[in-house]
Amino acid sequence: MTLYYWPCSLLLLARSLLLDRPTGPLAATLRIGCAKPYMIEVGGRRITTRVSLVAPKAPRKRIAAIDSEIALFYLPLDRPEYAAVRAMLADQELLELPVERFAPVIPELRMAMREVLPAERIHALVRQVMELLTEQPFEPATPDPRVIKAFEVLDEMPLNEVSLAAVAAQVHLSASRLREIFRQQTGFTIPDYARWRAVWRASFFWKRGLTMTEVAHRAGFHDLAHADRAFHELFGMNPSAVVDPKYVTLVNCGPPG
C-alpha cells in the first residue's frame, strides 16, 4: 500500500483493501477500482462498482476490494475548490459513477501504486481527477498566510497540548477569527487537523523504532486507545496497518504548489 498525504487530504493506493470496521471519515471519499470492481456498503446500501463517491461522515460499514487496484482520495468538502463536489453529492450518502469518466488517469494511478511519484505529479494527478469528477476546472485555493502559520504551529505542537486559544495566540488572531478562517480554508477544525497531524507524527516515530505505545505518547495521544480511535476515524484501520513500513509506504507531498 502507498499513501501520499498533504494537509487535510490524501491519496491511498492499494492492490487489495478489505475493511470491516465501521467508520465515518470527516472528509468525502472517492474510490476508483483501477483493475476490478469492489464492494462498498454505506448506511443501508451495498453496491459493487468501479467508482464511488461517499459523503463526509456517512457510515461506511464495509469495503471488499480484492485485486481491484483501488485508489482512495480524501476530499475536504468545506474548502471552496470542492463546491462542485458538494453539489454533486447534495444530500446523498453514496453516489456511483461511471469508470469510463476516469479512463485518462487510471494508467498513472496504477504507476503511482507501483513506484513513488514526486509530489508535483501527485498534486497534478489529483487536480486532473477532480476535473474528470466534476467536469469543471479545479484549482486549489491559496492558503491564507495566517492559516499557513497555524499549520506551522500545529506541526510542532503535540496533540495533548493543542487548544484553539494556544494556536490563536501564536498566530496573533482571536480564537473566533482563527476558527472561522481555518475551517473555511482547510475544511477542518483545529482539533480535527491536530488529530490528522498526530497520525503522521506517529508514523515518523514508528520509523525510529519505538513501540506502538511509545509512538502514541510521543505523538501526543493520551494512550494507545486514543491513537487507535484517531486512526480508525481517519482510515478505518488499526495504527500498525497504516504506519508500519512492512505494510505501507508513506509519502509526504506537502501542500499543493
Query: Where in the chain are the domains?
Result: 2-134, 145-244
Which pLDDT band, with edges at 50, 70 and 90, does 257 fall under?
A: low
Which pLDDT band, with edges at 50, 70 and 90, does 208 fall under?
A: low
- Identical fold for domains 2-134 and 145-244, yes or no, is no
Q: For residues 215 and 239, is the Cβ–Cβ distance under 8 A?
A: yes
Is pLDDT above 90 for 42? yes
Distance between CA atoms of 216 and 198, rounded to whole angstroms?
Answer: 9
Q: Can you list the positions of beta strands (E) in the chain? A: 2-6, 9-14, 17-19, 28-33, 38-42, 45-49, 51-54, 60-65, 70-75, 94-96, 249-252
Average pLDDT, the chain: 88
Per-residue pLDDT tens over the stretch 232-256: 777 666 676 666 677 788 898 887 7
Cα 220 from chain centre: 20
Give the three-class secondary structure for 256: coil
Task: Please name the residues in contact with 231: beta carbons below 8 A apart, sequence gap of 6 or more.
Answer: 199, 237, 238, 239, 242
Class of domain 145-244: mainly alpha
Q: Which CATH superfamily is domain 2-134 in?
A: Jelly Rolls (2.60.120.10)
Which pLDDT band, with edges at 50, 70 and 90, does 183 fall under?
A: confident
Residue 241, pLDDT score: 67
